[in-house]
């Protein structure tokens, strides 16, 4: 049953309001001033509040403000009842937190109509709040499951460091790393189309393929073929995953990479980009097995070099003027961090430069940056 709180210092008006509300089947609480209204609301709550604008102790405007503050993120309708309906009073009431005005003397038919509309709005808001709570619970459970799946690979290779800034609660970017033996690292950086939970689900099939095949030290071509086939089998049409899969031979300082749709992997030394591994293939899940090219690019590095990989959410991030962060700002951030040999410091410098550039603009896509040491 909808609960209505009435605050009016005029007994006759309070009785009339109460009579209409009770006749409509609402549960009613009546108090005589604004302070009592705030106290009653904090004590028992209500689904709808009717406040006389001119009351002793605390007036209706102040009571509306205090009740609205007590609600926090929750919403219920608050109606100010006033003998004056001039624009100044209306504006003051709306600014105080009221949602509607009812003039005195009031027409019972108008009051009944307002109550029905506002009670329905209050009930719909409760439905929204229940859905929000359910969604938060489901999201927390999904996050825990996803974390359990990915966590074994997060710090599995000390040579690989990462930073991720998700556009929503869930990220469609994925970083997996494994030190297969003393001299060999496998790394996957993936970016599913879109963002949010749907994008996260798109990258999950890659986890099992990466886990099983890198444990067997299979070649990149085989891993890429299986990843592509898994996505083709599991994802709906129109969904795909940009990815860079690579191996690092630390003893020989050699890198082999298959890049399908990600920005170039950068070979960096002391803040300077000395080589790139560009994307030469479409994203995983786009082409059928017969059309897939699994050829890899090889790169000879030097001990002490490292690879920088990132999703397109980094260079495509925009500021308030609509300008993209771009490659030039990325290079400048790398140069600024050149005095530090620590990959973590470099990653932090890149994200700090991004935050300084975008300011308060929320990211429209997930941002991932990865540093993989060589040698």
Mean pLDDT for 248-275 is 94
Per-residue pLDDT tens over the stretch 282-295: 999 999 999 999 99
Mean pLDDT for 310-322 is 93
Higher-pLDDT residue of 147 and 308 is 308
Residues 6 or more apart whose CB falls under 8 angstroms from that of 192 comprise 172, 173, 174, 199, 200, 202, 203, 239, 240, 241, 242
Report whether 44 contacts 29 (CB < 8 A).
yes
DSSP of 119-144: HHHHHHHHHHHHHHHHHHHHHHHHHH
Higher-pLDDT residue of 65 and 199 is 65
For the chain, the structural domain boundaries read 3-131, 155-373
Mean pLDDT for 333-338 is 84
Q: What is the pLDDT of residue 340?
A: 62
Predicted TM-score (pTM) of the model is: 0.74
Mean pLDDT for 128-143 is 86
Q: What is the pLDDT of residue 151?
A: 82
Per-residue pLDDT tens over the stretch 155-199: 789 999 999 888 888 888 999 999 999 999 999 999 999 878 888
DSSP of 152-220: HHHSS-TTEEEEEE-SSSS-SEEEEEEEEETTEEEEEEEEESS-SHHHHHHHHHHHHHHHHHHHTT--H
Report whether 52 contacts 8 (CB < 8 A).
yes
Kindly report the number of other CB atoms within 10 A of residue 303's CB atom: 11
CA dihedral for 366, 174, 150, 292, sign (positive or negative): positive
Report whether 160 contacts 214 (CB < 8 A).
no
Q: What is the pLDDT of residue 179?
A: 95
Per-residue pLDDT tens over the stretch 298-315: 999 998 899 999 999 999
Per the prediction, the chain carries an average pLDDT of 91
CA distance 132 to 127: 9
Per-residue pLDDT tens over the stretch 10-31: 999 999 999 999 999 999 999 9
Domain 155-373 in this protein, CATH class: alpha beta
Report whether 330 contacts 309 (CB < 8 A).
no
Mean pLDDT for 27-50 is 94
CATH pick for 3-131 out of 3.20.20.70, 3.30.420.10, 3.40.50.2300, 3.40.50.300 = 3.40.50.2300
Residue 215 has pLDDT above 90, yes or no: yes
CA distance 220 to 147: 26
Q: How far is CA 138 from the centre of its chain?
A: 15
Counting beta carbons within 10 angstroms of the beta carbon of residue 186, is it exposed (0 to 12), middle (13 to 18) or buried (19 or more)? buried
CA distance 374 to 288: 33
Higher-pLDDT residue of 62 and 106 is 62
**Omega of the bond prior to 128 within 30 degrees of 0, cis?**
no
Q: What is the pLDDT of residue 359?
A: 92
Mean pLDDT for 345-362 is 91
CA distance 117 to 111: 10
Residue 67 has pLDDT above 90, yes or no: yes
Per-residue pLDDT tens over the stretch 187-203: 999 999 987 888 889 99
CA distance 13 to 52: 9
Q: What DSSP state is assigned to residue 263?
A: P
Question: How many Cα neighbours within 13 Å face the side chain of 168?
Answer: 13
Residue 206 has pLDDT above 90, yes or no: yes
CA nearest 102: which of 128, 77, 87, 84? Answer: 84
Tokens of 348: 């932090």
Kindly report the number of other CB atoms within 10 A of residue 91's CB atom: 10
Mean pLDDT for 243-251 is 97
**By percentage, how much of the chain surpasses pLDDT 90?**
68
Report whether 152 contacts 58 (CB < 8 A).
no
């Amino acid at each position: 049953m909808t609960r209505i709180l009435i605050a009016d210092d005029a007994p006759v008006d309070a009785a009339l309001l109460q009579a209409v509300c009770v006749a409509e089947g609402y549960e009613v609480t009546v108090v005589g001033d604004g302070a009592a209204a705030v106290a009653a609301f904090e004590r028992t709550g209500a689904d709808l509040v009717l406040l006389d604008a001119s009351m002793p102790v605390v007036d209706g405007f102040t009571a509306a403000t205090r009740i609205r503050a007590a609600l926090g993120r929750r919403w219920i309708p608050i109606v100010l009842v006033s003998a004056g309906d001039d624009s100044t009073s209306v504006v003051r009431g709306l600014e105080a937190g009221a949602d509607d005005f009812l003039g005195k003397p009031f027409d019972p038919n108008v009051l009944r109509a307002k109550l029905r509309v506002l009670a329905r709005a209050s009930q719909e808001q409760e439905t929204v709040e229940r859905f929000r709570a359910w969604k938060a619970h489901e999201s927390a459970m999904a996050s825990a499951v996803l974390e359990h799946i990915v966590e074994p690979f997060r710090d599995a290779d000390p040579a690989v460091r990462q930073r991720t800034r998700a556009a929503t609660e869930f990220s469609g970017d994925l970083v997996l790393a494994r030190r297969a033996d003393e001299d060999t690292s496998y790394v996957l950086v993936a970016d599913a189309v879109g963002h949010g939970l749907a994008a996260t689900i798109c990258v999950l099939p890659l986890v099992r393929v990466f886990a099983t095949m890198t444990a067997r030290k299979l070649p990149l071509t085989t891993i890429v073929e299986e990843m592509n086939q898994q996505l083709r089998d599991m994802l709906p049409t129109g969904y795909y995953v940009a990815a860079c899969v690579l191996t690092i031979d630390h003893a020989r300082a050699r890198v082999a990479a298959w890049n399908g749709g990600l920005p170039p992997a950068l070979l960096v030394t002391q803040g300077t980009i000395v080589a790139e591994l560009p994307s030469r293939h479409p994203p995983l899940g786009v082409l059928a097995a017969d059309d897939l090219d699994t050829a890899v690019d090889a790169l000879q590095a030097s001990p002490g070099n490292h690879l920088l990989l990132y999703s397109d959410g980094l260079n495509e991030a925009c500021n308030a003027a609509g300008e993209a962060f771009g490659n030039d700002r990325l290079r400048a951030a790398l140069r600024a961090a050149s005095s530090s040999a620590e990959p973590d410091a470099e990653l932090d410098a890149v994200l700090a430069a991004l935050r300084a550039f975008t300011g308060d603009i929320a990211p429209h896509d997930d941002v991932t940056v990865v540093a993989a040491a060589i040698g």
